[in-house]
Structure 1
Amino acid sequence: MTTLLKDIAVLFDASEPGQHVLEIASRLAGSHKSHLIGITALTQEPAPIQAGFAKGSAIHEVIVRQQSAMAAHAVQLGQSLTRALHRHDASGEFRVISHAESSSESSLHALYCDLLVVSHPDIAGSPLSWSAPQILRQSGVPILIIPFGWRDRPVGKRVLVAWNGSRQSRRAIADAMPMLMSAKEVTLLLIDPERTAELHGDAPGTDMAAYLARHHVKVELKRVISGGLPVAEVIVSHAKASQCDMVVFGAYSRPKLSESLFGGVTKTLLTEVPIPLFVSQ
């Protein structure tokens, strides 16, 4: 298990959400002394109507103009990445991928990093086929999802960890450990632990809290009863009440058939993204 975020990747573009997520990822890279990989998917702008009547050498001219426009756009995005890196004293690099790439091809660009940062509700700078669930399932890279409304607010200072004793939840904690160690406060939240007593033991959450404490995480253990409310609603309610700026959870810890038929915590959180989410699978 790593205790450092050496490489962080971010999907971004020139849009307001794209620049917003770039700023947050750059700030995160600076605070963790990480290398930031800025990734954008360039799409070819539609040609003007008159281009459809081009013939002979004019067709070549249309193609050259479109390629020049795309190159200029890429230069502008590279410059915005450079400025963001400079503001937060971080190193980085710029990668351009095709807007039409399949998710399996595109995931290769993010595989060699410790964390991928994306925007919500739309993933700025992503290829056509990308979605958060696909990224999780195909790349195995943990994702930090930033809602567009999260303006000029910290990320990862006051963290809520949703712990249910599952393998996915355990993996999420391991992946998020660098951020948990640097957080000011971490709440380890257990919801209805008696329902899965076989995963928790006699004192639910105590062993995981002790494990986190040994890693110098400032952790507080909370056990709560859902009272029949959806688990996702309970997680968000406690996160907001504690003024948390990030929730860590393991995706799809219920059987896939159950998730697809009845929905679940993962589906609800990934759809709504009320606060920044650190998701692993």
Structure 2
Amino acid sequence: MSYKTLLVHIDDSRRSDTRIALSLELAQRWDAHLIGLYVVCQDLFRPIFRQDKTLSFAQIEAQEANRREKAENAFLAAAERAGRSAEWRAPPGPALDVAMLHARHADLLVLGQQDPNDPASFVAPHFVGDLVLGAGRPALVVPYAGEVRTLGENVLLAWDGSREAARAAADALPLLQRARHVGIEIVHAHGQAQSPDAPEGIDVAAWLETHGVRAAFSTTPHHVGIGAGATLLNRASDLHADLLVTGAYGHARARERVFGGVTRTMLESMTVPVLMAH
């Protein structure tokens, strides 16, 4: 099993080059085709457009075209240096709708956590979360801070027996099969007891082994006042994991999506790349 088509989200943020470099390295692993999807904020009232209030709409459009051309040249040049098959896409239309449509024709998405200190990283409210929950494709979300030295060598798989966790585990198989170490982590709610007859994690570990993945499993108590998401991030740090795999939780309500606590924590506070699937 492998990913044959990867899609990396490209914008004008400082972290865009990191995502491109990582996606090219992943494309090399699986001899995959890489799509660079350029989608940026279209709200003229956002700070990135208000740096010079004297600019006319025509001048703003000219600046946008210049940034788009610069991003395209940088992406295609990086792909050529890496010797990878790649294509550039910068389709018109509402940012989330466009991204959702193109994401559904890829095996894996490479996205970036929004950086509160970089206005260019803002595309739309809850852009990454909405894309993860709505695209039907696994997404590798890269933190806005820190260096990604390795990815997928030491993987921590969050497991709670849910549909979302099962989906994430299955979608992560190409990465898990190449990992040096895979750990399955179960976070228990406060006061919840584990059955001594059938330890949680043993079934998913057995399933993974049928796919050539040998995994250890452990249980971490969920302490009062510390959310499950924060507990998982702490465990990832303690174990020096370079990838966390977790289900993405949420549902639609009216015209917006409501994110589960773990998913919200990951999107806001991730310290390590997270592969999420819904």
Output the TM-score relative to the length of structure 2. Answer: 0.81
Partner of 1:252: 249
- Structure 1 pair 77–201 and aligned structure 2 pair: CA distance change class (3 A): farther
CA distance in 2, matches of 1:233, 1:50: 44
* 1:117 aligns to 2:110 (yes or no): yes
CA distance in 1, matches of 2:215, 2:237: 17
Deviation at 1:183, TM superposition (A): 1.3
Which has the higher Rg, Structure 1 or Structure 2? 1
On the 8 A contact 2:114/2:122 being kept in 1, the answer is no
CA distance in 1, matches of 2:26, 2:120: 18
On the 8 A contact 1:5/1:178 being kept in 2, the answer is yes
Aligned length: 263
Question: The residue matched to 1:117 in structure 2 has which SS?
Answer: strand
Partner of 1:204: 200
* 1:150 aligns to 2:146 (yes or no): yes
Partner of 2:235: 238
- Structure 1 pair 93–224 and aligned structure 2 pair: CA distance change class (3 A): same
| Structure 2 letter corresponding to 1:168 | E
Where in structure 2 are the equivalents of 1:1-281 lying within 5 Å?
3-41=1-39, 49=54, 63=58, 70-98=64-92, 101-122=94-115, 127-129=123-125, 131-192=127-188, 195=192, 202-228=198-224, 229-252=226-249, 264-281=261-278
On the 8 A contact 1:163/1:249 being kept in 2, the answer is yes
- Structure 1 pair 141–260 and aligned structure 2 pair: CA distance change class (3 A): closer
Q: Which has the higher helix share?
A: 1
| Structure 2 letter corresponding to 1:30 | Q
Question: The residue matched to 1:182 in structure 2 has which SS?
Answer: coil
| Structure 1 letter corresponding to 2:248 | A
Deviation at 1:130, TM superposition (A): 5.5
Question: The residue matched to 1:275 in structure 2 has which SS?
Answer: coil
Question: The residue matched to 1:172 in structure 2 has which SS?
Answer: helix
CA distance in 2, matches of 1:51, 1:227: 55
- Structure 1 pair 133–252 and aligned structure 2 pair: CA distance change class (3 A): same
Deviation at 1:158, TM superposition (A): 0.9
CA distance in 2, matches of 1:130, 1:211: 34
- Structure 1 pair 138–172 and aligned structure 2 pair: CA distance change class (3 A): same
On the 8 A contact 2:140/2:273 being kept in 1, the answer is yes
| Structural RMSD (CA) | 3.3
Deviation at 1:148, TM superposition (A): 2.0
On the 8 A contact 2:113/2:128 being kept in 1, the answer is no
Output the TM-score relative to the length of structure 1. Answer: 0.80
User: Mean Cα displacement is larger for which, 141-150 or 100-109?
Assistant: 100-109
